[in-house]
Structure formats: structure tokens, C-alpha cells
Chains A and B, each alone.
Chain A
Amino acid sequence: MALVKHGKIQEDAWTRIENDSLPLGRPLLLTKEEWCCLAATLRHWEQPLGLLLEGSDSLDDLRPVLDRFRLIALNFPKFTDGRAYSQARLLRKRYGYSGELRAVGNILQDQFLQMHRCGFDSYEVADGKVAEVWAVAIHRYRGFYQSAERGQRREGAATLPVEQPAAAAWAY
């Protein structure tokens, strides 16, 4: 596993609960269930906290506590399971979450752009080599047809006025 963030391989500092013990001194990534059990215990926890969410996890009830998390990781059980795209947009736009948003699980490099546009910042991938294609993927399109977290909808005619069809390209 490698962590790609802004097109670079990065060290993953986050740890998980293992064997029923809370690791001290490192940022801690919790599932929603763990968070629900431990919220009281962690009230004065000083290390950064993160949440690992599944597609079936509701977000509404997390709203009041979202600012406690520096990282939210959204899991893709399969790369064809697109729920996390909607979760990402809700977290960003509706719930105002501004911490790091990470895609984990089964993801393809061909999905970097749409993840980026939905508000993801980092990607846990099987092969670190794909870090190189991230920048290419992000910059492939000069503009988009709809607004999202990144890349707004183009407005207005691009260069060519309506009355004048693109003669060269149009009439071949």
C-alpha cells in the first residue's frame, strides 16, 4: 500500500486500534462504530483523530462532531461502488468538512480526476507508481460541464460565437 497525496508518495502516519489497545502518540483512525463506543473516552484525546467510513454509514449524525476529525477516509469496497463520491460531496459542501479526505480500498488511477473533483485529497493505492499519473489525470481536461468541489462549470460560449459555426472543424 502507498499513500498518494497531491501527486506525491507520502508516509502514512495514521494508525488503527489493534488488539483492543489505543496506540498513544500517533494520529488515530477510527471506524464509525469505534468512534461511537469511544467518543466519551476520547473527549480529551490530544492526538489527531480520523474517521474511516463505509458507504452504508450515515453522515447526518456525525455533523456536530465533524470538526474533531482531521482525516476522513471513505472506503471503496469495489471500484465500481460509487457511494463515496456522494459522501465526499456531502461532507465537503453540505457539512462543511475541511480536513483531509482520503479514498481507500479498491480504486483505479482512472478515477483520480473524478475523486479530485468530488473533494478527495489523498489516495491509498496498491502501487505507488500511479503517483506519476495523478498530475496528468488532474490536468487532462481544460474545463467541465458541471460544478463540483473542484473544477467549475464552464460559462458562456468558448471563443466561437453562436452565429459562426466552427467552419474548419464542422464542414470537413
Chain B
Amino acid sequence: MVLVVNETFDDSSHEDAGHPERPDRLVAARTAIDDLHLDEDLVVVPAHSATREELVRVHIGNYLDELSAYCYSGGGDIDQDTYATLNSFTIAKYAAGSGLAVIDELQRRNDGVGFVAARPPGHHALADRAMGFCLLNNVAVAAAALRSQGERVLIVDWDVHHGNGTQQIFWDVPEVLYVSTHQWPLFPGTGSVNEVGGRHATDRTVNIPLPPGATGDIVRRGIDEMAGPVIDAFDPTWVLVSAGFDAHREDPMADLRLTSGDFALMARGVSDYAPQPGRLVMFLEGGYDLDALRSSIHASLSAALGQTYDGESPSNGGPGTEQIERMRQARRSTIELLHTSDDEESTR
């Protein structure tokens, strides 16, 4: 099976001294890809800068204008976490567009696995606001493009933080199913199990909040037991992954205890949700310890390509087991309640 990745674009000028979301992260990602020694099975597609038409499917035009003006006037801090520089808008458009180029190539081949090595990350970016290191929502731009082609898109977000931007953008969109595992409580404060989607898309958001210290076995059980039946019923035609690697135990940004072996198992798991080869794309989100990032990307791609991964063993034994059944019930009652109030409304 081939690995389709985007060509690198020069992201070196999107940086802020001492900021953890830094250009070296992409160097680690490229090393991870090189370590796979794929030779002719590695397909590099030209990076693509997202057009306005592609971006306005998820972002409001005013926000794009403001962000562009802000960057071209020199940039600066957008909030306590998020920065922009002179070139950030240009770089962010490449990050948002490269997923589309990878998807095009996969559609042409009907084979392979896609990986979008790009930054800044995207899953916190809202329709009208930058936050949490994110300017444009890369995975959302890709999902929206697929949706416009009539596809049903599953987004699995295993970054340690909740992807509030992605959830918001597809909150009431029945053609996109958003599944997130994340540490809770933690930034950005959203992602409770009771957030299940809007009126037209009840059940299309699945949140799996996990306690600090949770290990890979719990994360996988959460996905299998809470999201599995929903995914089966949804029957996706495409699978996109918001692949952040900050749930790794070495990552300084959070307190989950995953290993690269866990990411291998999760990548294998999401591949099984894709209906055929050439329908799975992973998008780099977080991951701030460079060694952990490299080994975790390597593990994920190996597994998605069907290779064996013999690095760090998967982790288990952390807290959260007893929580999963409780979360499943809480989710079910929330959905029942929403349906009941809908029924009452319609009989009124």
C-alpha cells in the first residue's frame, strides 16, 4: 500500500521564540516518514494553498479577511496561546489546502493511506476565530470538501485536547460524524459527553472525555464501545483523523499516558472504519515532545499501512475503566431527552 503525503512548504516563518508549536515538529514528522523506508511506495503530491472558495465552506469570510490583514500587517499574539506572523496566513492556507491535494490523489488511485504533515494545526480553529495555536481548521476544510461531493465523513480526533473548532463547525451537519477522545478537564473546556450534536445531527458528535493518567487500553475501549456502534450505523465513506500526538506520556502539554504502540493500535482501528483502501487520511494536529511525536507518527503510519510496529508496547492499567459505561448511559439519556423534546415540539 502506498503512503500519500503532501509536499513540504516553507513553514519556517510561522514561529514564535519559545513557543511549543514550532517548525521542528514538521522536521520530526518528515523523519518519521523517512524511517518507514517506503521508496517507490511513498507518493508526494504538490502542496496546495486552499482557495477562498474552499475555506468559506467552514470559515466566515470576515474572519478570513481579518486574519489575512492581521498577518500582512505583521501579525502578533492573537490570544494567550495563539500567534501569527507576516507569513502565517500564507502558511495556514497551505496547511488547510494540502489535505485536499492528498484526497485528490487517493481518489485517483483508490488505494493508499494519506498523511498531511502540516502546521499550524487546525482543530481548535472556529468558524470565526483563531485559538489554541490554530488559525484555519485543516481537517474541517477537507471534510467540508468531501461533503460537497456527497460523501459521508467520519472524523476521529485523538489529539489530547478536544477539537472544539471541528465540533462547532459540524455541530448540526448530519453528513459528518465527529468522534473525539480527550483529557478532561483540560483546554479548551468543551467536549463533555452530553455534547451530542445539533437538532439536525443528534448523535453525530461523540465525545469521550478521559481522566488524567488514562492509558491506551481505555482510549481504545472508549472508541470501540462509545463510538463503534454510532460509526457502524453512520457507515462512513471517508475517514479523516485529527492525529495529535500530545496524549503520549512524554508530552508536556497534558497528562494521558499513551505510548507510540497505542497510536499504532488506534491507527489500525481507524483503518478498519474506512470502507476501502484510499479512504483514510491523517492530519497532524498537536504533539510537542519531538521524540514522542516522531515515534508516534512512525507507529501510526506503519500500522495504517499494514506493517508491524515493534517500538514501544501499548499501555494499560490507567484510570477510567469504570467511567466508560457511565458515559455511555449519560450519552444515551441525553439523546433520548433531545428526541423527546423534539417530539413534543412537533406534536404541539
Is this pair of chains taken from one and the same complex?
A: no
List residues of chain B with CB under 8 Å of any chain A CB: none
